[in-house]
Structure 1
Amino acid sequence: MPTTLPVPIEFSLPDGWRSAPPDEVGAPGVAFIALHEHPDDGFTANITVDGDFRPDGATLADMAEESVERLRRAAAESVTVTSRRELGSEASPGLAQRLTLSAVGGGVRRDLVQSHVYLAVLDQEDPHRRAVIRLILTSTTAQEDGVLGDFQEFLRTVSLDTGTEA
């Protein structure tokens, strides 16, 4: 069953991407998934969005490392963090990381790349209460150059949905 996000967001998908029901495409636990229109040798690049409230003291770097460990425990044969950097400001913190991994899916071993972006949304009245939104691009190594710009375009459109029109 797809999850809901801890805070509402809005965004636009770039051309060449379409949303899909998470449960129907094997992505349980995410609130949103978009698929690229051109698979690479049977693998479809995808963008997923999930999130949760994090009342604990974990930093965004801690959360990024938790994601790495989840991948290592899952089907990934190897996972390597190739970059990690902080984004945003103290009032609107974020973190980006890039991973390379080898995984077997459907009986086929694939070399994949993931770009993770973590966005923290702090409660104005209680800064220790925060929601974290995680946006992930997964592609084959061969697809990365062709879809990374799309992911960056997608990220530029992500904002909190305040329920008011501009």
Structure 2
Amino acid sequence: MPATLPTPIEFRLPEGWLPARSEESDAACVAFAAVHPQPDAGFAANITIDGEAVQDPVTLTDLADESAERLREVAESVVVAHRREVGTADAPALTQRLTFSAVVNGTHRDLVQSQVYLSLPDVGESHKHAVIRLTLTASASQHDDVLGDFQGFVRTVRPDAPAGA
């Protein structure tokens, strides 16, 4: 069963990308996954969405550090190649790019993961917020080709307004 996001969001997939079947993704950890229709040497670039509710003083940097550490548990040569805080004081965000090597379906691959962390305030409790993580994972050779699709996808993500609001 897929994970549940701490707050509802809406988004639009890039043209041609397909929702992943649950057996293609680690459905227990993500709320949504999509795959690129043209795999690179057998590895399909993918976009995943997950999230969690956090309380102050947890920062986006803390969460990005935790993500890199979790990846180090299952991959080799994990490097934080880039990290930048973006957004505004009211809507902070963080981007990071990780490079790593991993065995996927029996084949050793050099991969790149671009992550975007979006912080959404809890209107009921100011010391709480939801963090949504958007992730693109692609082969090192295909990453730059699909990065524009991912950036376009990120621009479509927004809180889902309740009906009648």
Q: Same fold (TM over 0.5)?
A: yes
Q: Deviations over 1:80-115 (max 9, x none)?
A: 001101111111111000110011112211000000
User: In 2, Cα distance between the equivalents of 1:136 and 1:78?
Assistant: 19
C-alpha contact (below 8 Å) 2:25/2:33 kept by paired residues: no
Residue 159 of structure 1 aligns with which residue? Answer: 158
User: In 1, Cα distance between the equivalents of 2:122 and 2:9?
Assistant: 15
**Could you say what secondary structure the match of 2:79 adopts?**
strand
Pairing 1:68-87 to 2, within 5 Å after superposition: 68-74=68-74, 76-87=75-86
User: In 2, Cα distance between the equivalents of 1:161 and 1:106?
Assistant: 36
Per the TM alignment, residue 164 of structure 1 is displaced from its structure 2 partner at its CA by 4.1
Per the TM alignment, residue 125 of structure 1 is displaced from its structure 2 partner at its CA by 3.8
**Could you say what secondary structure the match of 2:34 adopts?**
strand
**Could you say what secondary structure the match of 1:54 adopts?**
strand
Q: Deviations over 1:9-62 (max 9, x none)?
A: 0000111201123x3213231000010000000100000000011125211001
User: In 2, Cα distance between the equivalents of 1:142 and 1:31?
Assistant: 27
Residue 32 of structure 1 aligns with which residue? Answer: 32
Task: Tell me the amino acid that sits aligned with residue 62 of structure 1.
Answer: D
- Gap regions ≥5 residues in structure 2: none
User: In 1, Cα distance between the equivalents of 2:118 and 2:153?
Assistant: 14
1:90 is aligned to 2:86: no
- Gap regions ≥5 residues in structure 1: none
User: In 1, Cα distance between the equivalents of 2:26 and 2:124?
Assistant: 34
Residue 13 of structure 1 aligns with which residue? Answer: 13
Per the TM alignment, residue 124 of structure 1 is displaced from its structure 2 partner at its CA by 2.6
Q: Deviations over 1:108-141 (max 9, x none)?
A: 1100000000001112342211110000000001
TM-score (norm 1): 0.94
User: In 2, Cα distance between the equivalents of 1:82 and 1:108?
Assistant: 23
1:134 is aligned to 2:140: no
Pairing 1:62-73 to 2, within 5 Å after superposition: 62-73=62-73
RMSD over aligned CA atoms reads 1.4
Task: Tell me the amino acid that sits aligned with residue 14 of structure 1.
Answer: P
- The ranges of structure 1 where at least 4 consecutive aligned residues each deviate by more than 4 angstroms after the TM superposition are none
Residues 165 and 97 of structure 1: CA distance in aligned 2, closer, same or farther (over 3 Å)? farther
Percentage of matched positions with identical amino acids: 56
C-alpha contact (below 8 Å) 2:85/2:93 kept by paired residues: yes
